[in-house]
Amino acid sequence: MPISAPLLVHCQNLSKNFNGKPAVAGLDLDIPPRICFGLLGPNGAGKTTTLRMLLGQSPRSGGTLEIFGQDIELNRRQIRQRTGIVPQADNLDPDFTVEENLRMYGSYFRLPTHEMDRRIPQLLDMVELSARATDRIDTLSGGLKRRLTLARALVNDPEFLVLDEPTTGLDPQARHMIWSLLHRMKRNGKTILLTTHYMEEAERLCDQLMIIDNGTLLAQDSPTGLIRKYCESDVLEIRGGIPKEAMGRLPPSCRTEHAGESLYIYSNHAKPLLELAQGLPDTACLHRHSGLEDVFLRLTGRELRG
């Protein structure tokens, strides 16, 4: 079978057990080069475990796993040489300054000094940290640390960039900056794999999305493809009660979901939803187009996770 471009990541039946308990159970994951691929799932779905296996930080229990066409277990060092990682938790080196962090990290990749002299100022400039180059890590805010972690992941000029919840805990300004940097990375031909809990982020950045839960695949498509496939076009959110007779007037094609105090009515036609909304106070209901979040909640359920 001819393949147009070799896959950057190719996993089949990837699985991981912790003490006999499956964390990832038979995942097939293919990522073509030069796209941004999003891995979505509730807490404990197996996202981080999957990333750790991809990076060779956790040996797989079963299946095959190839990056750049090489088995990660056999070619870990070569693969990491071409990969950049932004982990979920901050692990910058607190014993060094901003610039020293990048230099130290570059030395683990055996980057020659002249290469670092050239690249590190550019990276600091890119994440707008040049003015903080000699500051200690503990003086940086969460947003600045995250930007530095991104710069650190780029120190070896990787072809493949992996980010585990890159914007969790950041303010909107910092989040937008990370987004624009990631757009730039993609334009520069890098392949990006990220996990996120923010559907807006997934929708804005990702060309392909995979939703997983309990270590298995639930759905995979482009963001718009997922919405088309798994959700009606319109939704009416209603807080508090709704008269029984009003519900009776809804066409049977409408789908309803209850979540706590709220009722969600999904339909491919806006009209019946708007008619229903007219009889209700403005503050109690909201009509909108459905989005990735509706797909996500439909596929993974509304109950809380650990």
Partner 1 sequence: MSNKSLPVLRIEAFTIWRRNALVWRRLMGASVLLHFGEPLIYLLGLGYGLGRFVGEMAGMPYFTFLASGFIAWSAMNVASMESMWSVYTRMVPQQTYEAILATPAEVDDIVIGELLWCATKSLFSGTAILVVAALLGAVNDWTAVFALPVIFLTGLCFAAPGLIITALARGYEYFNFYMTLAMTPMFILCGVFYPTNTLPLPMQSVVQFLPLTHAVQIIRPIVVGEPITNLGLHLGTLGLFGLVTAWVATILIRRRLIQ
Q: Which of 17, 58, 61, 216 binds partner 1 (CB under 8 A)?
A: 58
Residue 168 binds to partner 1 (criterion: CB under 8 A): no
Residue 93 binds to partner 1 (criterion: CB under 8 A): yes
* Nearest distance, CB of residue 283 and partner 1, angstroms: 46
Nearer to partner 1, 78 or 188 (CB): 78
Nearer to partner 1, 76 or 255 (CB): 76
Q: Starting at the earlier edge strand, list the strands of the sheet with 234-239.
A: 255-259, 262-267, 234-239, 285-289
Nearer to partner 1, 11 or 79 (CB): 79
Q: Which of 35, 44, 96, 214 binds partner 1 (CB under 8 A)?
A: 96
Residue 87 binds to partner 1 (criterion: CB under 8 A): yes
Sign of CA dihedral 36, 82, 180, 184: negative
Name every residue whose Cβ is closer than 8 Å to that of residue 241 and which is 6 or more positions away in sequence: none
Candidates 104-112, 117-125, 188-196, 248-256 — which segment interacts with partner 1 by CB under 8 A?
104-112
Q: Which of 109, 133, 293, 297 binds partner 1 (CB under 8 A)?
A: 109
Q: Is 124 exposed, middle or buried (0-12, 13-18, 19+ CB in 10 A)?
A: buried
Residue 15 binds to partner 1 (criterion: CB under 8 A): no
Other C-beta atoms closer than 10 Å to the C-beta of 306 total 5
Angstrom distance (rounded) from CA 261 to CA 79: 49
Q: Which of 36, 55, 263, 292 binds partner 1 (CB under 8 A)?
A: 55
Q: Which of 156, 208, 267, 300 binds partner 1 (CB under 8 A)?
A: 156
Q: Which of 80, 132, 147, 175 binds partner 1 (CB under 8 A)?
A: 80
Beta strand 208-213 with 216-221 is: antiparallel
Candidates 28-36, 55-63, 124-132, 270-278 — which segment interacts with partner 1 by CB under 8 A?
55-63
Picking from 149, 90, 155, the residue whose alpha carbon sits closest to that of residue 118 is: 155
Nearer to partner 1, 87 or 223 (CB): 87
* Nearest distance, CB of residue 290 and partner 1, angstroms: 37
Residue 113 binds to partner 1 (criterion: CB under 8 A): no
Angstrom distance (rounded) from CA 58 to CA 160: 18
Angstrom distance (rounded) from CA 300 to CA 28: 19
Candidates 97-105, 193-201, 225-233, 265-273 — which segment interacts with partner 1 by CB under 8 A?
97-105
* Secondary structure class of 55 (helix, strand, coil): coil
- What's the 3-state SS for 79-143? HHHCEEEECCCCCCCCCCEHHHHHHHHHHHCCCCHHHHHHHHHHHHHHCCCHHHCCCEHHHCCHH
Question: In the chain, helix, strand, coil percent, each to 5?
Answer: 35, 30, 35
Q: Is 74 exposed, middle or buried (0-12, 13-18, 19+ CB in 10 A)?
A: exposed
Residue 169 binds to partner 1 (criterion: CB under 8 A): no
Residue 91 binds to partner 1 (criterion: CB under 8 A): yes
Name the residues that contact partner 1, by CB under 8 A. Answer: 18, 55, 57-59, 73, 76-78, 80-81, 83, 85, 87, 89-96, 100, 104-105, 107-110, 156
